[in-house]
A and B are shown apart, each in its own frame.
Chain A
Amino acid sequence: MKKKWIAAVLAATVALTATACGGADTDTTDNTAKKGGTGAAVFNGQLEENVTIRVLENDTAIEKGYFKELIDAFNEEYKDKGIQAVDANMDQYLDLANDGPYGYGPDVLYQANDIIMKYADGKHILPLPAEEFDCFEQIPDTAWNAFHATVDGTEYTCGIPVNVQAPMLYYRKDLLPADWESAWDEDKDSVPDMIQSWSKMYDYSVARHEANKKQYGYMKSLNDMYFSSGFLFSYGGYIFGNNNTDPSEIGFAAGEAEKGAQVLSQLASAMNEDCIDDTITTNAYSKLADGSYFATISTPDVYSTFLDELTKAYEEQEGLSEWDAAKKAEENLVMTALPQLPSSGDLTDKNAEQIVSKCMGGVNGYAVSSYTKAPNACLEFVKFATSYDMVKRRAHMLGIAPARGDVAKEVGGTSEEIFKNLDAGNIILMPSISAIAQIWTPGQTFFIDLAQDVYRADNEKKYKDLASMKAGLEDMCKQINEAITTLQ
Chain B
Amino acid sequence: MKQKNGFKMLDTGVTYVLLIAVAFIFFFPCLWIILASLSKSGSIYSFDGFFPRSYSLATFKKLFTDTTMYNYPKWFLNTLMVATGSCILGTFLTILTAYTMSRFEFKARKPMMKITMVLGMFPSFMGMTAVYLLMTQFGLINHLWGLILIYAAGAPMGYLTQKGFFDTIPKAIDEAAKIDGATNLQIFTKINLPLAKPMIVYTALTSFTWPWSDFILPKLLLKEKNLYTVAVGLMSLDETEFARFAAGSVFIALPIVVLYFCLVRNMVNGIAAGAVKG
Do the two chains bind?
Answer: yes
**Structural contact, B40 and A285, CB atoms closer than 8 A:** no
Interface residues on A, range: 20 to 34
Beyond known contacts A94-B223, A104-B142, A282-B45: 14 more, CB 8 A cutoff: A59-B69, A62-B68, A62-B69, A89-B224, A90-B223, A90-B225, A91-B236, A104-B141, A104-B223, A283-B43, A283-B45, A286-B41, A286-B43, A312-B41
| A25 beta carbon closer than 8 Å to chain B | no
Q: Which residue of B lies closest to A101 (CB)?
A: B136
**Structural contact, A312 and B42, CB atoms closer than 8 A:** yes
Bound-complex Cα distance A313 to B53 (A): 13
Q: Which residue of A lies closest to B133 (CB)?
A: A102
User: What residues of chain A lie closer than 8 Å to B239, measured between beta carbons?
Assistant: 282
**Structural contact, A316 and B40, CB atoms closer than 8 A:** yes
User: What residues of chain A lie closer than 8 Å to B46, measured between beta carbons?
Assistant: 286, 290
Binary flags per residue of A400-437, CB closer than 8 Å to B gives 1, else 0:
00000000000000000000000000000000000000
| A132 beta carbon closer than 8 Å to chain B | no
Bound-complex Cα distance A309 to B242 (A): 13
| B175 beta carbon closer than 8 Å to chain A | no
**Structural contact, B224 and A90, CB atoms closer than 8 A:** yes
A60-106: which residues lie under 8 A (CB-CB) from chain B? Answer: 62-63, 89-91, 94, 99, 102, 104
Binary flags per residue of B232-256, CB closer than 8 Å to A gives 1, else 0:
0000101110000000000000000
User: What residues of chain A lie closer than 8 Å to B40, measured between beta carbons?
Assistant: 316
Which B residues fall within an 8 A CB radius of A? 40-46, 54, 68-69, 136, 141-142, 223-226, 236, 238-240
User: What residues of chain A lie closer than 8 Å to B236, measured between beta carbons?
Assistant: 91
Bound-complex Cα distance A282 to B43 (A): 10
User: What residues of chain B lie closer than 8 Å to A172, measured between beta carbons?
Assistant: none
| A154 beta carbon closer than 8 Å to chain B | no
Most buried by A among B41, B42, B236, B238: B41
| A259 beta carbon closer than 8 Å to chain B | no
Query: Which 5 pairs show the lowest CB-CB distances between chains A and B?
Result: A283-B45, A286-B43, A102-B136, A89-B224, A286-B45
**Structural contact, A89 and B226, CB atoms closer than 8 A:** yes
Number of A-B contacts (CB under 8 A): 46
User: What residues of chain B lie closer than 8 Å to A99, measured between beta carbons?
Assistant: 223
User: What residues of chain B lie closer than 8 Å to A394, measured between beta carbons?
Assistant: none
Bound-complex Cα distance A290 to B239 (A): 18
| A305 beta carbon closer than 8 Å to chain B | yes
Interface of B is mostly: loop
A89-B224, A90-B223 known; A285 vs B141 contact (CB < 8 Å) = no
Bound-complex Cα distance A443 to B58 (A): 41
**Structural contact, A89 and B45, CB atoms closer than 8 A:** no
User: What residues of chain A lie closer than 8 Å to B142, measured between beta carbons?
Assistant: 104
Bound-complex Cα distance A305 to B240 (A): 9
The distance from the CB of B141 to the nearest CB of chain A, in whole angstroms, is: 6
| A287 beta carbon closer than 8 Å to chain B | yes
User: What residues of chain B lie closer than 8 Å to A313, measured between beta carbons?
Assistant: 41
Most buried by B among A285, A286, A287, A290: A286
Q: Which residue of B lies closest to A62 (CB)?
A: B69
**Structural contact, B43 and A63, CB atoms closer than 8 A:** no
User: What residues of chain A lie closer than 8 Å to B238, measured between beta carbons?
Assistant: 59
User: What residues of chain B lie closer than 8 Å to A285, measured between beta carbons?
Assistant: 43, 240
Bound-complex Cα distance A90 to B226 (A): 9
Can you identify 13 A-B contacts, CB atoms within 8 angstroms? Answer: A62-B69, A63-B69, A102-B136, A102-B141, A104-B136, A282-B239, A282-B240, A283-B45, A285-B43, A286-B43, A287-B45, A312-B42, A316-B40
Binary flags per residue of A278-290, CB closer than 8 Å to B gives 1, else 0:
0000110111001
Bound-complex Cα distance A322 to B134 (A): 52
Most buried by A among B45, B69, B225: B45
User: What residues of chain B lie closer than 8 Å to A305, measured between beta carbons?
Assistant: 240
Q: Which residue of A lies closest to B232 (CB)?
A: A91
**Structural contact, B68 and A63, CB atoms closer than 8 A:** yes
Most buried by A among B42, B44, B69, B240: B240
User: What residues of chain A lie closer than 8 Å to B223, measured between beta carbons?
Assistant: 90, 94, 99, 104
User: What residues of chain B lie closer than 8 Å to A89, measured between beta carbons?
Assistant: 224-226
User: What residues of chain B lie closer than 8 Å to A63, measured between beta carbons?
Assistant: 68-69
Bound-complex Cα distance A285 to B239 (A): 10
Q: Which residue of B lies closest to A59 (CB)?
A: B69
Bound-complex Cα distance A285 to B242 (A): 12
The distance from the CB of B227 to the nearest CB of chain A, in whole angstroms, is: 8
**Structural contact, A309 and B240, CB atoms closer than 8 A:** yes
A178-218: which residues lie under 8 A (CB-CB) from chain B? Answer: none
Q: Which residue of A lies closest to B142 (CB)?
A: A104
User: What residues of chain B lie closer than 8 Å to A287, measured between beta carbons?
Assistant: 45
User: What residues of chain B lie closer than 8 Å to A102, measured between beta carbons?
Assistant: 136, 141
